[in-house]
Amino acid sequence: MYCKEIRLHAEPVPLTFPGQDHPAHRQSAEAPPGYKWKVLATVVFGIFMVLLDTTVVNVAFQTLRREFGSNINNAQWIISVYVLAIGISTPLAGFLADRFGIKRIYLSALLIFALSSLACGLAPNLGTLVVARAVQGFGGGLALPLGIALLLAAFPVAEQGMALGIFGIAAIVAPAIGPILGGWLVDHGLWRLIFFINPPIGLIGFALGRRFLRERHSDRKPPLDVLGLITEVIGFGAILYAASTVVSLGWDSPPVIGAFIVGVIGLILFAIVELYVAKAPLLDLRLFRKRIFLNASLLGYVSVIALFGAEFLMPLFLQALRGLSAMQTGFMLLPLAITGGISVTVAGRLYDRLGPRPLVAVGFGILMVNTWQLSQIRADTSLQWIAFLLALRGVALGLTVQTTLVTALSVVPMRELARGSSLINSTRNLVQAIGVAILATILASTLSPAVQRFEQSFEDAPRPAATSTHVAGLCEPVQIAQASPATNGVAPVAAVAADGATRPLAAMPADMAALLHQACLESVAGFEKAYTVTFVASFVALILGLMLPGWPRSWGGRRAADLPVAGH
Protein backbone atom coordinates (compact mmCIF):
# COMPACT_ATOMS: atom_id res chain seq x y z
CA MET A 1 0.00 0.00 0.00
CA TYR A 2 2.66 2.46 0.95
CA CYS A 3 5.89 0.95 -0.44
CA LYS A 4 6.79 -1.26 -3.36
CA GLU A 5 7.11 -4.46 -1.36
CA ILE A 6 3.65 -4.10 0.14
CA ARG A 7 1.99 -3.08 -3.11
CA LEU A 8 3.01 -6.38 -4.68
CA HIS A 9 0.24 -8.11 -2.69
CA ALA A 10 -3.00 -8.20 -4.63
CA GLU A 11 -5.01 -9.50 -1.66
CA PRO A 12 -4.63 -8.97 2.08
CA VAL A 13 -2.39 -11.45 3.88
CA PRO A 14 -3.77 -12.84 7.13
CA LEU A 15 -1.82 -11.53 10.07
CA THR A 16 -1.39 -13.09 13.48
CA PHE A 17 -1.96 -11.21 16.68
CA PRO A 18 -0.49 -12.32 19.98
CA GLY A 19 -2.37 -15.43 20.98
CA GLN A 20 -4.74 -15.51 18.01
CA ASP A 21 -5.15 -14.97 14.29
CA HIS A 22 -7.53 -12.18 13.61
CA PRO A 23 -10.94 -13.11 12.17
CA ALA A 24 -11.27 -9.85 10.28
CA HIS A 25 -8.23 -10.71 8.19
CA ARG A 26 -9.30 -14.30 7.87
CA GLN A 27 -12.68 -13.31 6.51
CA SER A 28 -11.21 -10.75 4.12
CA ALA A 29 -8.81 -13.30 2.72
CA GLU A 30 -11.60 -15.84 2.22
CA ALA A 31 -14.03 -13.35 0.65
CA PRO A 32 -15.24 -14.33 -2.83
CA PRO A 33 -14.09 -12.31 -5.89
CA GLY A 34 -15.99 -9.08 -6.25
CA TYR A 35 -17.12 -9.01 -2.62
CA LYS A 36 -15.27 -5.77 -1.92
CA TRP A 37 -17.17 -3.97 -4.69
CA LYS A 38 -20.47 -5.22 -3.36
CA VAL A 39 -19.54 -3.84 0.06
CA LEU A 40 -18.55 -0.51 -1.48
CA ALA A 41 -21.81 -0.20 -3.44
CA THR A 42 -23.86 -1.17 -0.40
CA VAL A 43 -22.13 1.24 1.97
CA VAL A 44 -22.11 4.19 -0.46
CA PHE A 45 -25.80 3.64 -1.21
CA GLY A 46 -26.77 3.62 2.47
CA ILE A 47 -24.45 6.36 3.73
CA PHE A 48 -25.39 8.74 0.90
CA MET A 49 -28.88 8.88 2.40
CA VAL A 50 -27.53 9.78 5.85
CA LEU A 51 -25.13 12.44 4.56
CA LEU A 52 -27.74 14.01 2.29
CA ASP A 53 -29.92 14.66 5.31
CA THR A 54 -27.23 16.81 6.96
CA THR A 55 -28.04 19.74 4.68
CA VAL A 56 -31.32 19.03 2.91
CA VAL A 57 -33.39 19.69 6.05
CA ASN A 58 -31.54 22.90 6.91
CA VAL A 59 -32.88 24.54 3.76
CA ALA A 60 -36.44 23.80 4.85
CA PHE A 61 -36.02 25.11 8.40
CA GLN A 62 -37.95 28.38 7.95
CA THR A 63 -40.69 26.55 6.04
CA LEU A 64 -41.05 23.96 8.81
CA ARG A 65 -41.17 26.75 11.37
CA ARG A 66 -44.04 28.42 9.51
CA GLU A 67 -45.90 25.16 8.83
CA PHE A 68 -46.01 24.25 12.51
CA GLY A 69 -46.54 27.82 13.72
CA SER A 70 -43.52 27.68 16.02
CA ASN A 71 -41.18 30.33 17.34
CA ILE A 72 -37.50 30.05 16.44
CA ASN A 73 -36.41 28.70 19.83
CA ASN A 74 -38.77 25.72 19.65
CA ALA A 75 -38.24 25.14 15.94
CA GLN A 76 -34.46 25.10 16.47
CA TRP A 77 -34.88 21.65 18.02
CA ILE A 78 -35.58 20.26 14.54
CA ILE A 79 -31.90 20.82 13.81
CA SER A 80 -30.43 20.62 17.31
CA VAL A 81 -31.93 17.28 18.35
CA TYR A 82 -30.59 15.64 15.19
CA VAL A 83 -27.07 16.89 15.93
CA LEU A 84 -27.40 15.78 19.56
CA ALA A 85 -28.57 12.28 18.63
CA ILE A 86 -25.75 11.77 16.13
CA GLY A 87 -23.19 13.01 18.65
CA ILE A 88 -24.45 10.69 21.38
CA SER A 89 -24.91 7.54 19.26
CA THR A 90 -21.66 7.66 17.28
CA PRO A 91 -19.44 6.71 20.26
CA LEU A 92 -21.69 3.68 20.83
CA ALA A 93 -21.22 2.29 17.32
CA GLY A 94 -17.96 0.46 17.99
CA PHE A 95 -19.22 -1.18 21.17
CA LEU A 96 -22.47 -2.35 19.56
CA ALA A 97 -20.58 -3.75 16.56
CA ASP A 98 -18.23 -5.72 18.82
CA ARG A 99 -21.09 -6.95 20.97
CA PHE A 100 -23.70 -7.88 18.37
CA GLY A 101 -21.91 -7.95 15.00
CA ILE A 102 -21.10 -5.08 12.65
CA LYS A 103 -23.47 -6.16 9.85
CA ARG A 104 -26.42 -6.49 12.20
CA ILE A 105 -25.89 -3.05 13.78
CA TYR A 106 -25.17 -1.32 10.47
CA LEU A 107 -28.32 -2.67 8.82
CA SER A 108 -30.37 -1.89 11.93
CA ALA A 109 -29.08 1.68 11.79
CA LEU A 110 -30.13 2.06 8.14
CA LEU A 111 -33.57 0.68 8.94
CA ILE A 112 -33.97 3.00 11.92
CA PHE A 113 -32.98 5.98 9.78
CA ALA A 114 -35.35 5.08 6.94
CA LEU A 115 -38.39 4.42 9.15
CA SER A 116 -37.82 7.51 11.30
CA SER A 117 -37.57 9.58 8.10
CA LEU A 118 -41.02 8.30 7.17
CA ALA A 119 -42.25 9.37 10.62
CA CYS A 120 -40.72 12.83 10.05
CA GLY A 121 -42.62 13.25 6.79
CA LEU A 122 -45.90 12.18 8.41
CA ALA A 123 -45.41 14.28 11.57
CA PRO A 124 -48.65 16.14 12.42
CA ASN A 125 -46.98 18.57 14.83
CA LEU A 126 -43.60 19.93 15.88
CA GLY A 127 -43.22 17.62 18.89
CA THR A 128 -43.65 14.50 16.78
CA LEU A 129 -41.19 15.82 14.22
CA VAL A 130 -38.55 16.53 16.88
CA VAL A 131 -38.89 13.02 18.37
CA ALA A 132 -38.64 11.43 14.91
CA ARG A 133 -35.58 13.56 14.12
CA ALA A 134 -33.93 12.33 17.33
CA VAL A 135 -34.46 8.70 16.29
CA GLN A 136 -33.25 9.56 12.80
CA GLY A 137 -30.03 11.06 14.18
CA PHE A 138 -29.47 8.02 16.39
CA GLY A 139 -29.56 5.72 13.35
CA GLY A 140 -27.33 7.99 11.30
CA GLY A 141 -24.77 8.24 14.10
CA LEU A 142 -24.39 4.46 14.11
CA ALA A 143 -24.36 3.94 10.34
CA LEU A 144 -21.57 6.30 9.28
CA PRO A 145 -18.61 4.98 11.34
CA LEU A 146 -19.63 1.36 10.80
CA GLY A 147 -19.90 1.86 7.05
CA ILE A 148 -16.31 3.11 6.99
CA ALA A 149 -15.13 0.15 9.09
CA LEU A 150 -16.91 -2.29 6.73
CA LEU A 151 -15.12 -0.77 3.75
CA LEU A 152 -11.65 -0.99 5.25
CA ALA A 153 -12.23 -4.57 6.35
CA ALA A 154 -13.35 -5.63 2.85
CA PHE A 155 -10.58 -4.06 0.76
CA PRO A 156 -6.98 -5.25 0.56
CA VAL A 157 -4.29 -3.12 2.09
CA ALA A 158 -3.11 -1.57 -1.17
CA GLU A 159 -6.62 -0.42 -2.17
CA GLN A 160 -8.04 1.10 1.01
CA GLY A 161 -7.24 4.64 -0.09
CA MET A 162 -9.06 4.05 -3.36
CA ALA A 163 -12.05 2.59 -1.52
CA LEU A 164 -12.41 5.56 0.80
CA GLY A 165 -11.80 7.85 -2.17
CA ILE A 166 -14.85 6.47 -3.93
CA PHE A 167 -16.77 6.55 -0.67
CA GLY A 168 -15.67 10.18 -0.35
CA ILE A 169 -17.81 11.06 -3.37
CA ALA A 170 -20.84 10.51 -1.16
CA ALA A 171 -19.19 12.34 1.74
CA ILE A 172 -18.73 15.51 -0.34
CA VAL A 173 -21.45 15.36 -2.99
CA ALA A 174 -24.38 14.40 -0.75
CA PRO A 175 -24.15 17.43 1.59
CA ALA A 176 -23.53 19.72 -1.39
CA ILE A 177 -26.61 18.67 -3.41
CA GLY A 178 -28.82 18.76 -0.32
CA PRO A 179 -29.57 22.49 -0.71
CA ILE A 180 -30.49 22.01 -4.38
CA LEU A 181 -32.95 19.23 -3.69
CA GLY A 182 -34.29 20.80 -0.53
CA GLY A 183 -34.56 24.22 -2.16
CA TRP A 184 -36.51 22.87 -5.13
CA LEU A 185 -38.94 20.98 -2.91
CA VAL A 186 -39.42 23.96 -0.58
CA ASP A 187 -39.93 26.38 -3.49
CA HIS A 188 -42.66 24.07 -4.84
CA GLY A 189 -44.37 23.58 -1.49
CA LEU A 190 -43.33 19.91 -1.23
CA TRP A 191 -41.37 20.05 2.02
CA ARG A 192 -42.64 16.67 3.26
CA LEU A 193 -40.93 14.96 0.32
CA ILE A 194 -37.61 15.97 1.90
CA PHE A 195 -38.22 13.20 4.41
CA PHE A 196 -40.02 10.80 2.07
CA ILE A 197 -36.92 10.56 -0.15
CA ASN A 198 -35.05 8.59 2.51
CA PRO A 199 -37.27 5.52 3.12
CA PRO A 200 -36.98 3.94 -0.36
CA ILE A 201 -33.23 4.65 -0.49
CA GLY A 202 -32.75 3.26 3.00
CA LEU A 203 -34.78 0.14 2.33
CA ILE A 204 -32.83 -0.57 -0.87
CA GLY A 205 -29.59 -0.07 1.06
CA PHE A 206 -30.88 -2.43 3.73
CA ALA A 207 -31.81 -5.06 1.14
CA LEU A 208 -28.41 -4.79 -0.55
CA GLY A 209 -26.63 -5.11 2.78
CA ARG A 210 -28.77 -8.06 3.82
CA ARG A 211 -27.89 -9.77 0.55
CA PHE A 212 -24.21 -8.95 0.14
CA LEU A 213 -22.61 -8.09 3.49
CA ARG A 214 -20.95 -10.84 5.47
CA GLU A 215 -21.22 -10.74 9.24
CA ARG A 216 -17.95 -10.05 10.99
CA HIS A 217 -18.16 -10.91 14.66
CA SER A 218 -15.54 -9.72 17.05
CA ASP A 219 -13.54 -12.29 18.98
CA ARG A 220 -14.68 -10.58 22.17
CA LYS A 221 -18.00 -9.70 23.76
CA PRO A 222 -17.28 -6.56 25.77
CA PRO A 223 -19.59 -5.59 28.63
CA LEU A 224 -21.34 -2.24 28.47
CA ASP A 225 -19.23 0.57 29.91
CA VAL A 226 -22.03 2.09 32.00
CA LEU A 227 -19.97 4.91 33.53
CA GLY A 228 -18.53 5.72 30.12
CA LEU A 229 -22.01 5.78 28.59
CA ILE A 230 -23.36 8.13 31.27
CA THR A 231 -20.44 10.56 31.08
CA GLU A 232 -20.43 10.38 27.27
CA VAL A 233 -24.11 11.29 27.04
CA ILE A 234 -23.61 14.18 29.46
CA GLY A 235 -20.37 15.45 27.91
CA PHE A 236 -21.15 15.13 24.22
CA GLY A 237 -24.81 15.99 24.69
CA ALA A 238 -24.25 19.18 26.69
CA ILE A 239 -21.51 20.49 24.40
CA LEU A 240 -23.55 19.82 21.26
CA TYR A 241 -26.63 21.40 22.81
CA ALA A 242 -24.66 24.53 23.71
CA ALA A 243 -23.09 24.72 20.25
CA SER A 244 -26.44 24.35 18.50
CA THR A 245 -28.22 27.00 20.59
CA VAL A 246 -25.47 29.58 21.00
CA VAL A 247 -26.37 31.25 17.69
CA SER A 248 -29.87 32.13 18.88
CA LEU A 249 -29.16 32.60 22.59
CA GLY A 250 -25.63 34.06 22.59
CA TRP A 251 -22.44 33.04 24.38
CA ASP A 252 -23.38 35.02 27.49
CA SER A 253 -26.71 33.23 27.87
CA PRO A 254 -26.96 31.30 31.19
CA PRO A 255 -28.27 28.12 29.46
CA VAL A 256 -25.37 28.17 26.99
CA ILE A 257 -22.75 28.86 29.66
CA GLY A 258 -24.25 26.20 31.93
CA ALA A 259 -24.36 23.64 29.10
CA PHE A 260 -20.74 24.27 28.17
CA ILE A 261 -19.62 23.92 31.80
CA VAL A 262 -21.57 20.69 32.24
CA GLY A 263 -20.26 19.42 28.90
CA VAL A 264 -16.60 20.13 29.70
CA ILE A 265 -16.93 18.47 33.11
CA GLY A 266 -18.70 15.51 31.48
CA LEU A 267 -15.96 15.09 28.85
CA ILE A 268 -13.22 15.27 31.50
CA LEU A 269 -14.97 12.60 33.55
CA PHE A 270 -15.51 10.57 30.38
CA ALA A 271 -11.79 10.70 29.60
CA ILE A 272 -10.89 9.62 33.16
CA VAL A 273 -13.34 6.72 33.01
CA GLU A 274 -12.15 5.56 29.59
CA LEU A 275 -8.45 5.79 30.44
CA TYR A 276 -8.34 4.58 34.02
CA VAL A 277 -11.62 2.95 35.09
CA ALA A 278 -13.37 1.10 32.26
CA LYS A 279 -12.19 -2.42 31.47
CA ALA A 280 -13.80 -2.23 28.02
CA PRO A 281 -14.07 1.50 27.17
CA LEU A 282 -16.59 2.81 24.67
CA LEU A 283 -13.87 4.82 22.91
CA ASP A 284 -10.18 3.96 22.97
CA LEU A 285 -8.76 7.40 23.76
CA ARG A 286 -5.27 5.89 23.90
CA LEU A 287 -5.31 5.99 20.10
CA PHE A 288 -4.47 9.69 20.42
CA ARG A 289 -1.07 8.61 21.74
CA LYS A 290 -0.25 7.54 18.19
CA ARG A 291 1.32 10.57 16.55
CA ILE A 292 -0.09 9.86 13.09
CA PHE A 293 -3.59 9.26 14.46
CA LEU A 294 -3.48 12.51 16.46
CA ASN A 295 -2.02 14.58 13.64
CA ALA A 296 -4.42 13.24 11.02
CA SER A 297 -7.38 13.72 13.39
CA LEU A 298 -6.43 17.39 13.96
CA LEU A 299 -6.18 17.90 10.21
CA GLY A 300 -9.55 16.21 9.76
CA TYR A 301 -11.13 18.66 12.20
CA VAL A 302 -9.93 21.59 10.07
CA SER A 303 -11.16 19.93 6.88
CA VAL A 304 -14.70 19.31 8.16
CA ILE A 305 -14.93 22.88 9.47
CA ALA A 306 -13.82 24.05 6.03
CA LEU A 307 -16.37 21.82 4.30
CA PHE A 308 -19.39 22.45 6.49
CA GLY A 309 -18.23 25.96 7.31
CA ALA A 310 -18.37 26.75 3.59
CA GLU A 311 -21.81 25.18 3.39
CA PHE A 312 -22.85 27.29 6.40
CA LEU A 313 -21.26 30.63 5.47
CA MET A 314 -21.79 30.73 1.72
CA PRO A 315 -25.55 29.97 1.72
CA LEU A 316 -26.01 32.75 4.27
CA PHE A 317 -24.07 35.14 2.07
CA LEU A 318 -25.92 34.20 -1.10
CA GLN A 319 -29.41 34.22 0.42
CA ALA A 320 -29.26 36.90 3.13
CA LEU A 321 -27.08 39.37 1.24
CA ARG A 322 -27.47 38.58 -2.45
CA GLY A 323 -31.11 37.55 -2.44
CA LEU A 324 -30.77 34.12 -4.07
CA SER A 325 -33.44 31.53 -3.45
CA ALA A 326 -32.69 28.26 -1.68
CA MET A 327 -32.55 26.35 -4.96
CA GLN A 328 -30.37 28.98 -6.64
CA THR A 329 -28.01 28.79 -3.70
CA GLY A 330 -27.87 25.02 -4.05
CA PHE A 331 -26.84 25.34 -7.69
CA MET A 332 -24.13 27.80 -6.68
CA LEU A 333 -22.68 25.09 -4.42
CA LEU A 334 -22.83 22.48 -7.18
CA PRO A 335 -19.30 23.24 -8.53
CA LEU A 336 -17.92 22.37 -5.08
CA ALA A 337 -19.64 19.00 -5.23
CA ILE A 338 -18.46 18.23 -8.77
CA THR A 339 -14.79 19.10 -8.27
CA GLY A 340 -14.80 17.56 -4.81
CA GLY A 341 -16.21 14.30 -6.12
CA ILE A 342 -13.56 14.13 -8.86
CA SER A 343 -10.60 15.08 -6.68
CA VAL A 344 -11.51 12.75 -3.80
CA THR A 345 -11.48 9.80 -6.22
CA VAL A 346 -8.11 10.82 -7.66
CA ALA A 347 -6.78 11.39 -4.15
CA GLY A 348 -7.77 7.87 -3.12
CA ARG A 349 -5.71 6.33 -5.92
CA LEU A 350 -2.73 8.60 -5.33
CA TYR A 351 -2.88 7.90 -1.60
CA ASP A 352 -2.23 4.20 -2.18
CA ARG A 353 0.89 5.13 -4.16
CA LEU A 354 2.26 8.20 -2.40
CA GLY A 355 0.83 8.29 1.10
CA PRO A 356 -0.94 11.26 2.69
CA ARG A 357 1.71 14.00 2.89
CA PRO A 358 1.69 15.30 -0.71
CA LEU A 359 -2.11 15.16 -0.95
CA VAL A 360 -2.71 16.95 2.33
CA ALA A 361 0.02 19.53 1.64
CA VAL A 362 -1.42 20.41 -1.77
CA GLY A 363 -5.00 20.31 -0.47
CA PHE A 364 -4.47 22.59 2.49
CA GLY A 365 -2.27 24.87 0.39
CA ILE A 366 -5.15 25.34 -2.06
CA LEU A 367 -7.61 25.67 0.82
CA MET A 368 -5.51 28.39 2.43
CA VAL A 369 -5.33 30.48 -0.75
CA ASN A 370 -8.99 29.82 -1.53
CA THR A 371 -10.13 30.84 1.95
CA TRP A 372 -8.17 34.09 1.68
CA GLN A 373 -9.87 34.79 -1.66
CA LEU A 374 -13.28 34.15 -0.10
CA SER A 375 -12.45 36.57 2.71
CA GLN A 376 -12.10 39.29 0.05
CA ILE A 377 -15.54 38.91 -1.55
CA ARG A 378 -17.78 41.94 -1.47
CA ALA A 379 -21.46 42.67 -1.91
CA ASP A 380 -21.00 43.15 -5.66
CA THR A 381 -18.58 40.26 -6.32
CA SER A 382 -19.76 38.43 -9.43
CA LEU A 383 -21.54 35.15 -8.89
CA GLN A 384 -19.36 33.55 -11.58
CA TRP A 385 -16.22 34.33 -9.56
CA ILE A 386 -17.82 32.94 -6.40
CA ALA A 387 -18.75 29.76 -8.28
CA PHE A 388 -15.13 29.40 -9.43
CA LEU A 389 -13.85 29.83 -5.86
CA LEU A 390 -16.26 27.16 -4.66
CA ALA A 391 -15.08 24.81 -7.41
CA LEU A 392 -11.49 25.37 -6.30
CA ARG A 393 -12.52 24.71 -2.71
CA GLY A 394 -14.01 21.40 -3.80
CA VAL A 395 -10.61 20.31 -5.14
CA ALA A 396 -8.98 21.14 -1.81
CA LEU A 397 -11.59 19.34 0.25
CA GLY A 398 -11.43 16.28 -1.99
CA LEU A 399 -7.71 16.05 -1.27
CA THR A 400 -8.08 16.42 2.50
CA VAL A 401 -11.35 15.19 4.04
CA GLN A 402 -11.09 11.47 3.26
CA THR A 403 -7.29 11.47 3.17
CA THR A 404 -7.08 12.55 6.80
CA LEU A 405 -9.67 9.94 7.76
CA VAL A 406 -7.93 6.98 6.13
CA THR A 407 -4.56 8.18 7.43
CA ALA A 408 -5.78 8.24 11.01
CA LEU A 409 -7.35 4.79 10.66
CA SER A 410 -4.19 3.43 8.99
CA VAL A 411 -2.53 3.12 12.40
CA VAL A 412 -5.56 1.48 14.03
CA PRO A 413 -5.40 -2.35 14.14
CA MET A 414 -8.09 -4.07 12.08
CA ARG A 415 -9.77 -5.51 15.15
CA GLU A 416 -10.17 -1.93 16.48
CA LEU A 417 -11.47 -0.36 13.26
CA ALA A 418 -15.07 0.09 14.41
CA ARG A 419 -13.89 1.70 17.67
CA GLY A 420 -11.36 3.90 15.87
CA SER A 421 -13.93 5.01 13.31
CA SER A 422 -16.38 5.84 16.11
CA LEU A 423 -13.73 7.92 17.88
CA ILE A 424 -12.84 9.93 14.78
CA ASN A 425 -16.43 10.55 13.69
CA SER A 426 -17.69 11.46 17.16
CA THR A 427 -14.91 13.99 17.74
CA ARG A 428 -15.34 15.40 14.22
CA ASN A 429 -19.04 15.94 14.93
CA LEU A 430 -18.14 17.79 18.13
CA VAL A 431 -15.52 20.00 16.48
CA GLN A 432 -17.78 20.70 13.51
CA ALA A 433 -20.65 21.85 15.74
CA ILE A 434 -18.39 24.11 17.81
CA GLY A 435 -16.67 25.45 14.69
CA VAL A 436 -19.93 26.41 13.00
CA ALA A 437 -21.10 28.05 16.25
CA ILE A 438 -17.91 30.11 16.38
CA LEU A 439 -18.25 31.18 12.74
CA ALA A 440 -21.87 32.19 13.35
CA THR A 441 -20.79 34.21 16.39
CA ILE A 442 -18.09 35.97 14.37
CA LEU A 443 -20.72 36.92 11.81
CA ALA A 444 -23.04 38.30 14.46
CA SER A 445 -20.25 40.18 16.27
CA THR A 446 -19.86 42.64 13.39
CA LEU A 447 -23.49 43.74 13.50
CA SER A 448 -24.49 46.77 15.53
CA PRO A 449 -27.60 46.47 17.76
CA ALA A 450 -29.57 48.71 15.39
CA VAL A 451 -28.70 46.53 12.40
CA GLN A 452 -29.52 43.34 14.32
CA ARG A 453 -32.98 44.67 15.11
CA PHE A 454 -33.44 45.83 11.55
CA GLU A 455 -32.35 42.49 10.03
CA GLN A 456 -34.79 40.63 12.25
CA SER A 457 -37.69 42.86 11.21
CA PHE A 458 -36.53 42.69 7.58
CA GLU A 459 -36.60 38.87 7.58
CA ASP A 460 -39.83 38.54 9.56
CA ALA A 461 -41.80 41.16 7.63
CA PRO A 462 -44.80 39.78 5.70
CA ARG A 463 -44.43 39.65 1.94
CA PRO A 464 -46.85 39.39 -0.96
CA ALA A 465 -47.83 35.85 -1.88
CA ALA A 466 -45.97 36.07 -5.17
CA THR A 467 -42.66 36.41 -3.33
CA SER A 468 -43.41 34.24 -0.31
CA THR A 469 -40.58 31.84 -1.11
CA HIS A 470 -38.00 34.61 -1.54
CA VAL A 471 -36.43 36.83 1.09
CA ALA A 472 -34.75 39.71 -0.70
CA GLY A 473 -31.05 40.19 0.05
CA LEU A 474 -29.76 42.96 2.26
CA CYS A 475 -27.31 43.99 -0.46
CA GLU A 476 -29.80 44.06 -3.33
CA PRO A 477 -30.47 47.55 -4.72
CA VAL A 478 -33.86 48.90 -3.66
CA GLN A 479 -36.43 51.24 -5.11
CA ILE A 480 -38.38 53.31 -2.64
CA ALA A 481 -41.63 54.79 -3.85
CA GLN A 482 -42.97 58.11 -2.64
CA ALA A 483 -44.93 57.90 0.56
CA SER A 484 -48.52 59.07 0.33
CA PRO A 485 -51.48 59.51 2.64
CA ALA A 486 -52.86 56.27 1.21
CA THR A 487 -49.88 54.40 2.56
CA ASN A 488 -49.96 56.19 5.94
CA GLY A 489 -46.62 57.82 5.28
CA VAL A 490 -44.89 54.50 4.59
CA ALA A 491 -43.10 54.05 1.27
CA PRO A 492 -43.43 50.71 -0.54
CA VAL A 493 -40.01 49.15 -1.13
CA ALA A 494 -38.98 46.80 -3.93
CA ALA A 495 -35.75 44.86 -4.44
CA VAL A 496 -34.20 45.34 -7.87
CA ALA A 497 -32.72 42.19 -9.42
CA ALA A 498 -29.68 42.21 -11.69
CA ASP A 499 -31.92 42.05 -14.78
CA GLY A 500 -33.86 45.10 -13.67
CA ALA A 501 -36.93 43.20 -12.51
CA THR A 502 -38.39 44.23 -9.16
CA ARG A 503 -39.63 42.13 -6.27
CA PRO A 504 -41.98 43.90 -3.84
CA LEU A 505 -40.92 43.83 -0.21
CA ALA A 506 -42.91 44.63 2.88
CA ALA A 507 -43.68 48.32 3.15
CA MET A 508 -41.20 50.03 5.45
CA PRO A 509 -40.35 53.65 6.27
CA ALA A 510 -38.24 55.33 3.63
CA ASP A 511 -35.50 56.26 6.11
CA MET A 512 -34.84 52.53 6.52
CA ALA A 513 -32.89 52.59 3.24
CA ALA A 514 -29.86 53.91 5.12
CA LEU A 515 -30.12 51.04 7.62
CA LEU A 516 -30.41 48.59 4.75
CA HIS A 517 -27.12 49.87 3.34
CA GLN A 518 -25.47 49.76 6.75
CA ALA A 519 -26.68 46.20 7.30
CA CYS A 520 -25.14 45.17 3.99
CA LEU A 521 -21.75 46.70 4.85
CA GLU A 522 -21.62 45.22 8.35
CA SER A 523 -22.69 41.78 7.15
CA VAL A 524 -20.03 41.69 4.44
CA ALA A 525 -17.45 42.65 7.09
CA GLY A 526 -18.65 39.71 9.19
CA PHE A 527 -18.11 37.24 6.34
CA GLU A 528 -14.64 38.68 5.75
CA LYS A 529 -13.73 38.16 9.41
CA ALA A 530 -15.17 34.62 9.51
CA TYR A 531 -13.26 33.50 6.43
CA THR A 532 -10.08 35.12 7.78
CA VAL A 533 -10.33 32.91 10.85
CA THR A 534 -10.66 29.80 8.69
CA PHE A 535 -7.67 31.04 6.65
CA VAL A 536 -5.52 30.96 9.79
CA ALA A 537 -6.80 27.46 10.59
CA SER A 538 -5.92 26.33 7.04
CA PHE A 539 -2.38 27.67 7.44
CA VAL A 540 -1.89 25.74 10.69
CA ALA A 541 -3.28 22.62 8.98
CA LEU A 542 -0.79 23.02 6.13
CA ILE A 543 2.10 22.97 8.63
CA LEU A 544 0.69 19.89 10.37
CA GLY A 545 0.11 18.18 7.04
CA LEU A 546 3.79 18.41 6.15
CA MET A 547 4.52 16.32 9.25
CA LEU A 548 2.52 13.33 7.99
CA PRO A 549 4.31 10.37 6.41
CA GLY A 550 4.37 9.75 2.68
CA TRP A 551 6.23 10.83 -0.43
CA PRO A 552 9.14 11.41 -0.81
CA ARG A 553 9.52 8.86 2.01
CA SER A 554 7.51 5.67 2.50
CA TRP A 555 5.53 4.62 5.53
CA GLY A 556 4.17 1.41 7.09
CA GLY A 557 0.51 2.31 7.06
CA ARG A 558 -2.09 -0.37 7.71
CA ARG A 559 0.37 -3.26 7.76
CA ALA A 560 2.46 -1.61 10.46
CA ALA A 561 -0.67 -1.06 12.55
CA ASP A 562 -1.53 -4.76 12.51
CA LEU A 563 1.90 -6.09 13.41
CA PRO A 564 2.36 -7.30 17.00
CA VAL A 565 3.57 -4.62 19.36
CA ALA A 566 6.06 -5.47 22.05
CA GLY A 567 4.57 -5.48 25.50
CA HIS A 568 0.96 -5.82 24.28
Check pLDDT > 80 for residue 508. no
Contacts of 350 (CB under 8 A, 6+ apart): 161, 358, 359
Q: 500 pLDDT band (50/70/90 cuts)? A: very low
Check pLDDT > 90 for residue 437. no
Q: Which of 111-115, 157-161, 518-522, 542-546 has the highest mean pLDDT?
A: 111-115
Q: Which of 21-35, 300-314, 365-379, 502-516 has the highest mean pLDDT?
A: 365-379
* Per-residue model confidence (pLDDT) at position 117: 92
Q: 555 pLDDT band (50/70/90 cuts)? A: low
Taking domain 28-222+280-447+525-562, whether its CATH number is 1.20.1260.10 is answered by no
* Per-residue model confidence (pLDDT) at position 477: 54
Closest CA to 365 of 501, 535, 204: 535
8-state DSSP, 91:
G
* Per-residue model confidence (pLDDT) at position 302: 81
Q: Report the alpha-carbon distance of residue 565 to residue 520 in Å, rounded.
A: 59
Long-range contacts of 441-444 (CB under 8 A, 24+ apart): 441/246, 441/247, 441/251, 442/526, 442/529, 442/530, 442/533, 443/313, 443/316, 443/523, 443/526, 443/527, 443/529, 443/530, 444/247, 444/526
Q: 513 pLDDT band (50/70/90 cuts)? A: low
Q: 460 pLDDT band (50/70/90 cuts)? A: low
* Per-residue model confidence (pLDDT) at position 110: 92
Q: Report the alpha-carbon distance of residue 232 to residue 274 in Å, rounded.
A: 10
* Per-residue model confidence (pLDDT) at position 474: 63
Average pLDDT over residues 272-301: 87
Check pLDDT > 50 for residue 16. no
Which of the residue ranges 55-64, 214-223, 541-550 would you say has the lowest mean pLDDT? Answer: 214-223
- pLDDT tens column, 318-348: 777 777 777 777 788 888 888 988 888 888 8
Q: According to the 3-state scheme, what is the secondary structure of 273-310?
A: HHHHHCCCCCCCHHHHHCHHHHHHHHHHHHHHHHHHHH
Average pLDDT over residues 530-540: 82
Q: Which of 6-15, 367-376, 428-437 has the highest mean pLDDT?
A: 367-376
- pLDDT tens column, 99-146: 888 899 999 999 999 999 999 999 998 889 999 999 999 998 899 889
Q: Report the alpha-carbon distance of residue 342 to residue 234 in Å, rounded.
A: 40
* Per-residue model confidence (pLDDT) at position 73: 67
Check pLDDT > 60 for residue 454. yes
* Per-residue model confidence (pLDDT) at position 240: 84
Contacts of 9 (CB under 8 A, 6+ apart): 156, 157, 158
* Per-residue model confidence (pLDDT) at position 264: 92
- pLDDT tens column, 19-42: 333 444 444 445 666 788 888 888
Residue with the larger pLDDT of the pair 136 and 518: 136
- pLDDT tens column, 472-498: 566 655 444 444 444 444 444 444 444
Written as one string, the DSSP assignment of 191-237 is TTHHHHTHHHHHHHHHHHHHHHPPP---S--PPP-HHHHHHHHHHHH
The alpha carbon of residue 54 and the mean position of all alpha carbons in its chain are separated, in whole angstroms, by 7
* Percentage of the chain modeled with pLDDT above 70: 77
- pLDDT tens column, 232-264: 889 888 888 888 777 777 788 888 899 999 999
* Per-residue model confidence (pLDDT) at position 262: 93
Integer CA distances (angstroms), 325 to 177, 337, 521, in order? 15, 19, 21
| Domain segments of the chain as ranges | 28-222+280-447+525-562, 455-518
The per-residue pLDDT of the chain, averaged, comes to: 76
* Per-residue model confidence (pLDDT) at position 105: 92
Average pLDDT over residues 271-282: 88
The SS3 assignment for 495 reads strand
Check pLDDT > 50 for residue 6. no
* Per-residue model confidence (pLDDT) at position 136: 93
8-state DSSP, 155:
S
Closest CA to 246 of 254, 256, 236, 238: 256
Q: 49 pLDDT band (50/70/90 cuts)? A: confident
* Per-residue model confidence (pLDDT) at position 466: 36
* Per-residue model confidence (pLDDT) at position 464: 41
Query: For the whole model, what pTM was predicted?
Result: 0.74
- pLDDT tens column, 142-191: 998 898 888 888 888 777 777 877 887 777 778 777 878 887 888 788 88
